[in-house]
Amino acid sequence: MGRPPCCDKVGVKKGPWTPEEDIILVSYIQEHGPGNWRSVPTNTGLLRCSKSCRLRWTNYLRPGIKRGNFTDHEERMIIHLQALLGNRWAAIASYLPQRTDNDIKNYWNTHLKKKLKKLQTGVDGNNRDGFSGSQKISKGQWERRLQTDIHMARKALCEALSLEHPSDLSDLKASNGSYNSCMRPIQTSTYASSTENISRLLQGWMKNSPKSSKTTSETTQNSSNNNIVSPEALESLFGDVSQSVSHDETVNFSQEISSFQFESKPILGSEEAPLSLLEKWLLDEGAQEHEEDDLMEASLRDTAELF
DNA sequence: AAGGGACTCAACCGCTTCGAA
DNA sequence: GTTCGAAGCGGTTGAGTCCCT
């Protein structure tokens, strides 16, 4: 019954990945595509378990990952989304396709938590229990705020859907649902060349610096712009709205198409929507300036109160 | 220059969910 | 319907680096 075990624990290597291992993994994925991680160690000869390979790819080697400092914009999105979704890093990461959930999680734990804590103590003295004190927002108020957020999200979705181009739907179906953020057929060549870049960069890196793979990862970043939203995240935000809208419609409400059509955020593929409208909703300071800022402020305050 | 505490982030661990047998 | 492994996810750890004294 069941399947054969993923990997035997004996002889499995742990710890930091070497550039050589990275190259092997990248080359393999370039050839076979991601997925079926169980077979990766066997087929590549890597002494890593499948889980480790998947993690290495999704958090580090995957093209389109942006590394380095988070922008103000990203920071605000994370704060707001965290307030809305909680610690669902994968869902949050789907709104920031260039960032991995691991990155966002780390950034939250190392920077934002502190920042919010600071903010809270600055704003509000040293009261730390979330629901008492004159400046605190009651649980009820928080819920109302959440409702407002959801309402705004719905509005954004409706607007988005009204902009739909029906022709997109056929593309979705043609795409077969893989490696596709915006209903376009897979562009294997884009993928291949991107991965080639990684390999090349890795090789170049090896020549230049025999040290940590950190540098390598930095070189692998590119400026792809996957404006995509996972269905789970959409569901979290929109709740019943997504039920009242057909899957294809939900998927299609974007106008922005990424140059990279990548997989690892599990395949956003046929179930993604682009970010632009949500971003607008979340962050556009022009459109809904006051309301938006109030909400953001509130989110910041409320989130800070949790610490 | 050296020591040590603080910080960062890649990677691991363990749990949950999903799907194949 | 049940079992079990793969995949995915969030929490945690620890090695490496930075910064201050």
A191-219 core/surface letters (b: 16 or more CB in 10 A; e: else): beebbeebbebbeebbeeeeeebeebbeb
| Burial of A188 (C-beta count, 10 Å sphere; 0-12/13-18/19+) | exposed
pLDDT for A296 equals 58
**Single-letter amino acid code for the residue at A41:** P
pLDDT for A145 equals 55
Cβ of A113 near strand C (distance < 7 A): no
Digit-coded pLDDT (tens) for A205-245: 444 443 333 333 333 333 333 333 333 333 433 333 333 33
pLDDT for A33 equals 82
The top-scoring range by mean pLDDT among A15-24, A234-243, A254-263 is: A15-24
Cβ of A247 near strand C (distance < 7 A): no
CA of A292 to C1' of B21 (A): 52
Q: In the 2-31 stretch of chain A, whose C-beta falls under 7 Å of nucleic acid strand C?
A: 2-7
Digit-coded pLDDT (tens) for A154-194: 555 555 444 444 333 333 333 333 333 333 333 333 333 34
User: What are the angstrom distances between the C-alpha of A97 and each of A16, A101, A123, A273?
Assistant: 24, 9, 32, 11
Closest CA to A299 of A129, A154, A120, A128: A120
What single-letter DSSP state applies at residue A59? Answer: I
pLDDT for A224 equals 34
pLDDT for A155 equals 55
Tokens of A43: 């087929």
pLDDT for A201 beyond 80:
no
pLDDT for A44 equals 86
pLDDT for A72 equals 84
CA of A15 to C1' of B13 (A): 13
Cβ of A36 near strand C (distance < 7 A): yes
What is d(CA A94, CA A106) in angstroms, rounded to the nearest whole number? 16
Cβ of A81 near strand C (distance < 7 A): no
- What is the helix (H) or strand (E) element at residue A162, kind and residue range? helix A139-162
CA of A105 to C1' of C11 (A): 10
Threshold 0.85, pTM exceeds: no
- What is the helix (H) or strand (E) element at residue A105, kind and residue range? helix A101-107
Q: Which nucleotide's C1' is closest to A213 (Cα)?
A: B10
pLDDT for A54 equals 86
Half-sphere exposure of A291 (CA within 13 A, CB side): 11
More confident residue, A284 or A38: A38
Positions in chain B where some atom is under 7 Å from a protein CB = 7-14, 19-21
Q: Which residues pair with A229 in a beta bridge?
A: A273
pLDDT for A46 equals 86
pLDDT for A32 equals 83
Tokens of A288: 């809904």
Positions in chain C where some atom is under 7 Å from a protein CB = 2-12, 16-17
Contact A216, A75 (CB under 8 A): no
CA of A216 to C1' of C18 (A): 20
Tokens of A169: 């739907």
